[in-house]
Amino acid sequence: MKDLLRIKSLISTEIEALLNQQVKKEALSSSIYLSMASWCNRNGYDFSSDYFFKQAEEERVHQLKFYKYILDMGGNAISPEVTGIKQEYNSFREVFEEALDQEISVTQSIKNIYARCMKEQDFVTMEFLNWFLKEQREEEYKARRALELFEVIGEEGTGRWQIDKNVGQITYNSEA
Amino acid sequence: MITTITTTTHWTDVFKTSAGAIYQCDAERCWYVDFAGKVAKFDYRCLLKLRKAVYHIDIEQTLLNTTKDPDVEIIFICACDHCYVLSLLQIIALKELLEGTFVMLELNHILHERLCSIAS
């Protein structure tokens, strides 16, 4: 008896479901960043707004990478429904705190998929996920660095204006 | 709908219960589901859709439901030629049949993988 399931799809149903969940998560991240970009823009933090626009774009690219991978492997990619995006924030700092929370949750979610791949010995998907793990290093670094600016510059006086200016310049170029 | 089988292609038993059976046809790369008085052909996508549809029925909720509606579920699968109208008992039986089938397909997959790794 032929292994028809394997002929049709490289990834298992469980991995496919997890990858589809990740598609949704990336779409959610993208929308959250877009909402943050709007809030920053409305409140006069233009550099931060640009930073979040870029982040929203990046998350969208991640979403499509997962989406196309599922299709390429013979799976069924599901276009996600994204609702309930928070539109208002209490402070400038809160925006960045939530951005870091979001990145941490994405990292955790990718780790979970990786763990499942290890269990199933799905080395193909593991290799695909390696790029994302490296990407998360950068994403978390940038989010953490932005929050650090609140500590080192301080919010008093023209502090927030200084923080906003510096957020746009955060880059991650580690050789590691 | 009752399909009369006239082809002579070889079918392999995947899983059988007293209520029905599922066969695999390697030549056509599909499965034949013999259940509720008919034999229906399912390709890979449709079989997965059938499984999803059946697994999503909340049997416990339907059992506890005290309304006077008949306990009949219509399983309609998008882009598939077949439709099932089943009673609750039949749904339980179909679920059992599908669960067994996917365990057997998974087992077949494991065997293929092991054989491949020995052969290489």
Yes or no, beta carbons of B109 and A6 under 8 Å apart:
yes
Cross-strand pairs, B34 = B21, B39
Query: For residue B112, what are the domain limits?
Result: 11-119
Full-model pTM: 0.81
Q: Which residues of A touch B106 (CB under 8 A)?
A: 5
Mean pLDDT (whole number) for A109-125? 94
Please report whether residue B5 resides in a domain.
no
Nearest to A36 by CA among A164, A140, A175, A151: A164
A155: pLDDT strictly greater than 60? yes
pLDDT of residue B82: 83
Yes or no, beta carbons of B108 and A3 under 8 Å apart:
yes
pLDDT of residue B4: 60
CB B93 within 8 A of CB B82: no
Please report whether residue B6 resides in a domain.
no
A168: pLDDT strictly greater than 70? yes
Cα separation, A24 vs A80, whole angstroms: 5
- Provide the number of structural domains found in chain B: 1
Name the amino acid, one letter, at B106.
Answer: E
pLDDT band for A15, please (50, 70, 90 cuts). Answer: very high
Yes or no, beta carbons of A5 and B24 under 8 Å apart:
no
pLDDT band for A117, please (50, 70, 90 cuts). Answer: very high
Please report whether residue B73 resides in a domain.
yes
Please report whether residue B4 resides in a domain.
no
Probe site for chain A from B28, B44, B49, B117 (most A CB atoms < 10 A): B44
CA distances from B67 to B61, B62, B71, B72 (A): 12, 10, 9, 13
Please report whether residue B50 resides in a domain.
yes
Tens-binned pLDDT, residue by residue, of chain B (120 aa): 555 665 567 899 999 999 999 999 998 889 999 998 899 999 888 898 899 999 999 888 888 888 877 778 888 887 777 889 999 999 999 999 999 999 999 999 888 888 877 776
Residue B105 contacts A where some CB pair is shorter than 8 Å: yes
Considering the segment(s) A4-167 as one domain, its CATH architecture is Up-down Bundle (1.20)
CB A35 within 8 A of CB A53: no
